[in-house]
Amino acid sequence: MDRRRFIVLGTAGSVAVLTGCGGSDGGGMAAMPPTGTAPPPADPPVSNPPPATPVTPLTVGQPLNDLVRLANTSTTPNEFAATLVAQRASKAMLPGTSTEFWTYNSMVPGPLIDVFEGDTVRIRLENQLSQETTVHWHGLPVPPAQDGNPMDPIAPGASRIYEFTLPVGSAGTYWYHPHPHEFTAEQVFRGMAGLLIVRSRTDPMPSAIEETLLVISDLRLAADGTIPANTPMDWQNGREGNYVLVNGQYQPVLTINPGQSQRWRILNATNARYLRLALTGHTMTLIGTDGGLLRSPVPGLDEILLAPAERVEVIVTASLSSPASAVLRTLPYNRGGMGMVGSSSTTIPLLTLTYTSAVTAAVALPSALNSIADLGVPTTTKRLVFSSGMGMGGMGGGMMSFLIDGKSFDPARIDLTSRVNEVEQWTIENRSSMDHPFHLHGTQFQVVSRTRSGVTATEPYLAWRDTVNVAAFETVVLNVVQHQLGKRMYHCHILEHESQGMMGVLDVVA
């Protein structure tokens, strides 16, 4: 059975319920199996996240775990070699139950890959799942054939080696996750994602500033401890879980000394949850985005919006005195969507920051961090339109489609062509009532401006990004260059939208 068709059928059912033209009252079309196919499994109640099942809360208040580092098996200088195994692994999350995750090396999140600019990275992936998979090196300038494109799947039981060299200038906060055709959303929400840091040997931040890594992921657990499949509503809005985890833990505790500054690298590894991050009683200083450090720190931020797949580096300075504490929270953010999107109305605590009584002397931040060169004047332009809407479903019912330039992803089609090393200006127009985080593979871009309701805001500082939120009915302009030949994906990083076809192929040619 065709996989996409299955997804679409599921979606059609939910739209019928939502628009009231079918419904769960028994009579409508939602109750009728589609002609000529096995009926899809009975839909769970439509809502997102699912109704607050009285689920016993996970343990809160444990000390924050450090991420487990993937060991380097190479003894050659400037070389990093390791194996990732895509495999099922069970863990006790709710009392008396066991939760089966899909993991890298039995860890949620996956192990930390910590490498330096100039390193050659050689990672073997063994696929022990029953689905095809790939590993995508999100944000890194790796050759297209090594980038885990959906066109290069690793079959169940098979393995392959990914190999690439990290150029000087690529220091930043990246991540890796699966990217198989149509299965990315599921593999990520079942646990497959990990942080990848590329370090510079000349990082300007004082070494006295300790680093903390925060991988934020979403988990939905049913009362029996299992991770349920996506509902039809999830396929439209993007899945949000009923637990937001930090390094795989629920509301853990991090300590800080009065006066101390910490450098937090934060990854939004959720499928669809927007993180509007705020730390009670504190401001944050932004020092870096996806692809590395800013030119200079941006202090005094009360909140930072981190769309799915985005990363930031922030400095948190303990400005209170012992025994204070603070809570890192995600505030409500309306990203559009149908029905109830949980995160649009709820503030969720992520982590507690507790002051110790030891005092640390303040460390001044350097005023110059990184010499980001402006990409310069573009010599060509592209325009992309993101849209979603009701397609023509069976029996007059609608099904939701998520399209770029009116098309759904086809791995065999080339949608756009760019010349290597040519500066382009891309205009991304969102004509839908939902936010979509735009992501382009293979390079980092610079946002130029954002236009909403006819008002254009010029981007206040240069930053390297590979993902940018394009809010509902917003238009974002960015400059970009691709430095390697071959096929690159661009897509919405709400993974349910990506897996349903809100993705295209860019061919970079000579």
Nearer to ligand C2O, 104 or 250 (CB): 104
| Partner whose footprint covers residue 494, from ligand C2O, Cu ion, none (CB < 5 to 8 Å by kind) | Cu ion
CB 44 within 8 A of CB 13: no
Residue nearest to ligand C2O (CB): 138
Residues that bind ligand C2O (CB under 6 A): 136, 138, 177, 179, 309, 439, 441, 489, 491, 493
| Partner whose footprint covers residue 177, from ligand C2O, Cu ion, none (CB < 5 to 8 Å by kind) | ligand C2O
Site for Cu ion in 158-197 (CB under 5 A): none
CB of 317 to ligand C2O, least distance (A): 31
CB of 290 to ligand C2O, least distance (A): 10
Nearer to ligand C2O, 353 or 384 (CB): 384
Does 436 bind Cu ion (CB under 5 A)? Our answer is yes
Q: How many Å apart are CA 216 and CA 247, to the nearest integer? A: 6
Does 138 bind Cu ion (CB under 5 A)? Our answer is yes
CB of 141 to Cu ion, least distance (A): 11
Does 341 bind Cu ion (CB under 5 A)? Our answer is no
| Partner whose footprint covers residue 492, from ligand C2O, Cu ion, none (CB < 5 to 8 Å by kind) | Cu ion
Q: How many Å apart are CA 440 and CA 496, to the nearest integer? A: 17
Exactly one of 492, 495, 505, 506 binds Cu ion (CB under 5 A); that residue is 492
Q: How many Å apart are CA 241 and CA 227, to the nearest integer? A: 9
Q: How many Å apart are CA 335 and CA 307, to the nearest integer? A: 10
| Partner whose footprint covers residue 309, from Cu ion, ligand C2O, none (CB < 5 to 8 Å by kind) | ligand C2O
Q: How many Å apart are CA 293 and CA 309, to the nearest integer? A: 17
Nearer to ligand C2O, 185 or 305 (CB): 185
CB of 91 to Cu ion, least distance (A): 27
Please spell the DSSP secondary structure of 266-335, one letter per residue.
EEE--SS--EEEEETT--EEEEEETTEEEEEEEEEES-EEE-TT-EEEEEEE--S-TT-EEEEEE-----
Q: Provide the b/e sequence for 340-364 (b: ≥16 CB within 10 Å).
A: ebbbeeeebebbbbebeeeebeebe
Q: What angle do CA 112, 113, 117 make, to 5 degrees?
A: 140
Nearer to ligand C2O, 15 or 196 (CB): 196
| Partner whose footprint covers residue 491, from ligand C2O, Cu ion, none (CB < 5 to 8 Å by kind) | ligand C2O
CB of 500 to ligand C2O, least distance (A): 14
Q: What angle do CA 474, 442, 475 make, to 5 degrees?
A: 10
CB 105 within 8 A of CB 113: no
CA distances from 485 to 40, 144, 187, 440 (A): 42, 8, 28, 15
| Partner whose footprint covers residue 273, from Cu ion, ligand C2O, none (CB < 5 to 8 Å by kind) | none
CB of 404 to ligand C2O, least distance (A): 13
| Partner whose footprint covers residue 436, from ligand C2O, Cu ion, none (CB < 5 to 8 Å by kind) | Cu ion
Q: Which helix (H) or strand (E) holds 352?
A: strand 348-355
Does 506 bind Cu ion (CB under 5 A)? Our answer is no
CB of 184 to ligand C2O, least distance (A): 8
Nearer to ligand C2O, 134 or 251 (CB): 134
Q: How many Å apart are CA 255 and CA 267, to the nearest integer? A: 20
Nearer to ligand C2O, 175 or 250 (CB): 175
Q: How many Å apart are CA 489 and CA 416, to the nearest integer? A: 10
Nearer to Cu ion, 138 or 311 (CB): 138
Nearer to ligand C2O, 160 or 439 (CB): 439
Nearer to ligand C2O, 268 or 317 (CB): 268
CB of 179 to ligand C2O, least distance (A): 5
DSSP conformation class of 110: P
| Partner whose footprint covers residue 179, from Cu ion, ligand C2O, none (CB < 5 to 8 Å by kind) | ligand C2O
Residue 237 structure tokens: 């809005």
Q: How many residues bind Cu ion (CB under 5 A)?
A: 6
- What φ, ψ does residue 11 adopt, rounded to 5°? -65, -40
| Partner whose footprint covers residue 497, from Cu ion, ligand C2O, none (CB < 5 to 8 Å by kind) | Cu ion
Nearer to Cu ion, 196 or 494 (CB): 494
Q: What angle do CA 388, 390, 393 make, to 5 degrees?
A: 135
- The residues that bridge with 244 in the sheet, in sequence order, are 218
Positions that interact with Cu ion (CB under 5 A): 138, 436, 441, 492, 494, 497
